[in-house]
Amino acid sequence: MTTIRSRIISSVAMIGVGLIALTGCGLQPATAYVPDAQPGSIKRLDLPEGASLTITSKNFTEQLILGKIAVIAAKAAGFTVNDMTNVPGSVPARELMLSGTADMTWEYTGTAWLAYLGQSKGIPDKQKQYQAVKKADAANGLTWLQPAPLNNTYALAVRDEATKKLGNISSLSQIADLPVAQRTFCVESEFNSRADGMNPMLKAYGLTRGKSDSVPNSHVKIFDTGAVYTATDRGTCNFGEVFTTDGRIDKLGLTVLKDDKAFFPAYNVAAVVNSKTLAKYPALAGIFAKVSLKITETTLRKLNLRVDDGGEEPADVAYDFMQKNGFITAAK
């Protein structure tokens, strides 16, 4: 699964291509399929005839699943939904929200803060990051609803078989207590050179890259994003850079270490709604607050894996999530 940070960078270059693609298909999504459903704990609202919502998402697995969750929730509430999920790139999806073409999307607090709002440094505290984004984006006519527990940020993980050998390690601060020979890392090239990546992270945890008595350069190996996971699982290194909602964490038996000094910025996902739309349909806040509570890192790792590894349709995986949590019932 392509990383969020890589997608932010590439999306700027893709904006022209993305907008052409949207124009060429008449602002229609590549796949607008969702299974039919009936209301569950999400009840039908007393809506005016023809009440509609346009929902958008980016075009990577997690966003496709979240987008379909929103489509299903809105349909269960009685809206006619224009499904514009699967937009190619972060910036084109953002433009649809800013222009008022789309009414709702799921967005990450760190992405908005750094990529859209132009801030140079993320805020590790989840609630403070959310409040800062919410306040700033209100001026753009967008309302951030309460964020989900899901925080799709950077992390380091260790293969389960090695945790005991490494003293039952569970947090990043414990790496400094290990012998130098055990301080080995597998990372992707972007993380290796980022201002909030490998070297600053080591410094925050009392370690220095390039020092023979701390983290020798030979102890840091660079891989393509996908290869980091398998290299970590095979024992090429003890610690691998991961994203906290990637399904390969569970599949390969990796344990995410706690960022106990809160170094990494927060990337909590939240429903973002056009402020005029929310004023017109205030009940949307309650609907998405209910759904957001169930969107956790553990849950999305499982859902992402069903798509990426199991080959299931994002819409079917989203439907199953909604039904199992009682938000909807099966169509009769």
Residue 34 tokens, joined? 């969702």
Q: Where in the chain is the domain with CATH 3.40.190.120?
A: 154-256
Residue 118 tokens, joined? 């132009």
Give the residue carrying structure tokens 């969750």: 69
Name the CATH code of domain 154-256 (choices 3.40.190.120, 1.20.120.640, 3.90.1150.10, 3.30.420.40): 3.40.190.120
Phi first, then psi, for residue 11 (nearest 5°) are -65, -30
Superfamily for domain range 4-150+269-330: Periplasmic binding protein-like II (3.40.190.10)
Q: What is the pTM of this model?
A: 0.84
Q: What angle do CA 191, 125, 148 make, to 5 degrees?
A: 90
Q: Where in the chain is the domain with CATH 3.40.190.10?
A: 4-150+269-330
Phi first, then psi, for residue 237 (nearest 5°) are -145, 165
Query: Over the chain (332 residues), what is each successive 10-residue block's mean pLDDT?
Result: 46 40 41 86 95 96 97 97 94 96 97 92 93 98 97 96 94 98 95 88 97 98 91 97 94 96 94 98 97 97 95 97 96 78
pLDDT at 56: 98
As a whole number of angstroms, the distance between CA 271 and CA 105 comes to 6
pLDDT at 190: 86
